[in-house]
Structure 1
C-alpha cells in the first residue's frame, strides 16, 4: 500500500485525538493542502476548494509544483478562479491516499498501514478536517466555498457544522444526499475490489495488489462519470484494428472497450484500494436530512429533511451548477440544493448546463463551466 503525494504539498496536523462521526478516533492525523495567491490583511479573500474522491490537493500549478493540476484551466492568474484576486486553498480529502491521513497511512501504534483498522469514515469527518485548515490559515470567513462532486457533499456538511463559515458557495455537481442509483454503482465498485482474492481482507501490498478489482471498479466509475451521448459521439460502434484487437475469447473488440481498459490501467496502483472503499462508502452514508428534526419527513423517501437542513447555511449568495447528462449526481440534486438554500434566505441560483460530458463535465468542459464560475465570483463585492 502506497501514498501518492505530489511535490509541494503542505500539511496541517489535526488535533489529536481527532474524533470520527461514527466512532473511533485518529491520532497524529494530518490534512494535505496547497495554496495560490495572497491572503488579504483582513483574511476575507479566501476561496476553499473541496474535491471529489480521487483528486489530490494540486488543483493547479504553483511555486511548489509547476506541474499542471487537475483544475489547471480554472485556477490561476486571470483564470475563472483568479489567484490575482483570491487566496485559493485546495484540501485533499481526509481518507485519501494523496497526503491526508487515510487507510494507506501508517497507524501510529504499529507503523503499518491502517488498512481496515481505519475508523469508519464519513463526509462530515472530512468537512471538520477542512475547517481546521481554514482556521489555521487565519481565514476570518471564506469569501467562497467551492465543492465539486463529493466535495459538494463535503461543502454542505461544512456549512451545516459551521454556519457562516463562508459568505458564498459554488456547488458543482454535488448533492445533499446519496441517491439509490449512485449507491448501487458504488456498491458494485466496492464488491469488485472485495472479490479480488488479492484484496485479502484489506491486507495487500505492492506484490499482491487487487489490480483486477480496481480495474473493474474504475471502469464502472468512468462509465457513470460520462454520458451515453458522449460515448456514442466519441466511439460509436468503431472496432479495434486487427493488430490491436484482443486475441482472447470475448476479449476487447470495440474502441470504447479499449478506452475503458487504458483508463483503468492508468488509475490502478495510483490509488489505494482501501481508500477507495472508505471514501466511496462515506458518500453512500451522506444525507444532510439526517440533521433535520423528525417532523421534516421520512428522509429515506423524500427530500424534505435535506432541504430543511440547507436552510441554516448562513450564506449570502450561492450557485448550484449541474449537467443535464449527469446520471451519477443528476440535475435534480443541484436544483434541490438551490431550493433549500433559498428557503433559508440565501440568494441561490440553479444553473443547468447542456454539456454532453456527464458528471465529469466540470473537469473538461471549461467553455461552459469557466464563464459560469467567473461570472459568479466577479459579481462578489
Structure 2
C-alpha cells in the first residue's frame, strides 16, 4: 500500500476528528491540492476542480511542477480555464492515494496503512472535505465549481450540502446517481481485485500485490471510458505485427496523451513498458495489446484499496436519496446563477440522459442552464481527449461569470 503524491502538492488539514457520513471518523486527515493563477484581492475569481476517480491534484503545469497535468490542454494561461483570469484550485479526493487521506494513508492509532479498515466513504464526505478546503484557502464564494466524471457527482453533493458556496457550475460527464450498468461494471472491477490470490483481504504489500486483479479492473474500465465507435475506427481487426514479438504496436494509431485519472477519470503513462509474454491464447489483436499496456501502466500507480473505496462510493451515491426525496427535487434545490452541463452521445458509463437530468433539474430550480450534447466518438473520456471540442463552450461559459 503506497501513496503517490505529486511533488508540488500542498495539504490542508481537515477538522479532527472528521466524522464520516456512514459512521466512523478520521483523525489528522488531510486534503492534497494544487493551485494555478492568482487570487484577486476581492477573492472572487476562484474556480474549483473536482476530479474523476483516479486523478491527482496536478491538473496543469505551473512553476512548482512543470510536468503536464492531467487536464493540461484545458487549464493554463490563455486556455479555456484561463489562469490569467482565474485562480484554479484542484483537489485530490478524500479516499484517494494521491496525497489526500485514504486507505493507503497511515492510521494514526497504529502507524500502519488503514487498508480495508478505512471508514466507509461517501460522496458527501468528499464534498464536505472539499468545502472545508475551500474555506481554509480563504475563499468564501467560488466563481465556479467544475466537476468531471466522479467529480460531477461530488460537485452536486458539494453544491447541495453547502448552499451559496458557488455562483456557477460546469458539470462534465457527471451524474446525480449511479445507474445499474455502471454499478455492474464497477462491481466486476472490485471482484477482479478481491479474487486475486495476492489480495489477502486488503493486506497486500509490494511483494505480494494483486496486480492481475488490478490489470483486469483497469481493462474493464478502459472498455467503458471509450466507445465501440472509437474502438472500431482506431483498431478495427488489426493484428499485432509479428516483429513486435508480442509487445504490440499501434499500426500508426496515436497513443493517448492525456491520463484520465492521472477516471485522469484514468491512468498514468510515465512508466516504461515491459515486454509482454507470448502464449497460445495470448494477445493477437492490437486492441488486446492496447488494454494490456494501459493496465500495466496503471496497476502499480493506484492503490487497490483506494480503488475499491472510491468505486463503491460512486455506486452508493444518489443525490435524491441523500435528501430523502427524488433526484429531480434535490437538483431543483441547488441555487446557482449559471450552469453548463455537458454530456457525450457515445458515453456508455455516464450516459447522456444523466446529464440531461442534471440540466433539467437545475433549471427547474431557477438556474440559467446551458446543456450541450457532444457528438464525439471518444465516449466518456472525451473531455480528456477531445479538448478542442470541449474547450470552446467551457471558455465561453466562464466569460459570463
CA contact (8 A) 1:152 1:173 kept: yes
Q: Which runs of 5+ in 1 are unaligned?
A: 297-304
- Of 351, 356, 377, the residue aligned with 2:372 is 351
Match of 1:301 in 2: none
Distance 2:322 2:350 in 1: 21
Q: How does 1:78-89 map to 2 (within 5 A)?
A: 78-89=78-89
Match of 2:233 in 1: 233
Distance 1:247 1:221 in 2: 24
Match of 1:302 in 2: none
CA contact (8 A) 1:193 1:210 kept: yes
CA contact (8 A) 1:9 1:64 kept: no
1:372 aligns with 2:399: no
Match of 1:258 in 2: 289
Distance 2:280 2:128 in 1: 50
Give the number of aligned pairs: 370
Deviations 1:295-343 (A, max 9, x none): x5xxxxxxxx111101121201101100000000000000000000001
Distance 2:210 2:126 in 1: 26
Distance 1:242 1:118 in 2: 47
Distance 1:215 1:142 in 2: 38
Deviations 1:18-54 (A, max 9, x none): 0001000000000000001111111111000000001
Match of 1:333 in 2: 354
Q: How does 1:132-281 map to 2 (within 5 A)?
A: 132-243=132-243, 244-245=245-246, 247-281=278-312
Deviations 1:76-128 (A, max 9, x none): 11000000101100000000000000000001011110001100011110100
CA contact (8 A) 1:42 1:140 kept: no
CA contact (8 A) 1:292 1:308 kept: no
Distance 1:193 1:291 in 2: 29
Q: Which runs of 5+ in 2 are unaligned?
A: 247-276
RMSD: 0.8
Match of 2:383 in 1: 362
SS of the aligned residue for 2:171 comes to strand
Distance 2:335 2:10 in 1: 29
SS of the aligned residue for 2:189 comes to helix
Deviations 1:228-260 (A, max 9, x none): 000000000001112333631211000000000
Following TM superposition, the consecutive aligned residue runs of length 4 or more in structure 1 with deviations greater than 4 angstroms are: none
TM-score by length of 2: 0.91
1:314 aligns with 2:345: no
Distance 1:164 1:270 in 2: 37
Q: How does 1:273-312 map to 2 (within 5 A)?
A: 273-293=304-324, 296=325, 305-312=326-333
Question: How many Å apart are 1:131 and its aligned residue?
Answer: 0.5
Match of 2:269 in 1: none
TM-score by length of 1: 0.96
Distance 2:133 2:115 in 1: 25
CA contact (8 A) 1:74 1:80 kept: yes
Q: How does 1:105-144 map to 2 (within 5 A)?
A: 105-144=105-144
- Structure scoring higher RCO (CA < 8 A, sep ≥ 6) equals 2
